[in-house]
């Protein structure tokens, strides 16, 4: 569960501040990290595949959330 939340937050940060070209290597790094975490917890192959798929989907979903909230985060401050 922590891996999914972390992947979603990283994706949202990436969506707000980075370009789409960073998403592919970041997804590959997420797949490797999810596989390592699942293997260290002693999960079976289907559980490991579910962790990999879930973290990749959470990362890309967070990226889409970051893209849609880009204007909200980067609003210029109005000083009078």
Q: Is the overall model pTM greater than 0.75, yes or no?
A: yes
- Give the orientation angle of helix 45-68 with respect to helix 2-17, to 10 degrees: 30
Q: Quick one: tokens of 25?
A: 């290597």
pLDDT, position 54:
92
Distance CA 58, CA 60 (A): 6
Tens of pLDDT, residue by residue, the chain (80 residues) = 787 888 888 888 888 888 778 888 998 998 998 899 889 999 999 989 998 999 999 999 999 998 888 788 776 656 55
């Amino acid at each position: 569960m922590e891996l999914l939340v972390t992947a979603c937050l990283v994706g949202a940060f990436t969506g707000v501040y980075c370009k789409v070209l960073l998403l592919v290597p970041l997804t590959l790094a997420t797949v490797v990290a999810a596989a390592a975490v699942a293997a260290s917890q002693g999960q079976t192959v289907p559980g490991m595949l579910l962790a990999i798929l879930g973290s990749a989907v959470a990362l890309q979903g967070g990226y889409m959330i970051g893209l849609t909230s880009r204007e909200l985060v980067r609003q210029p401050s109005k000083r009078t």
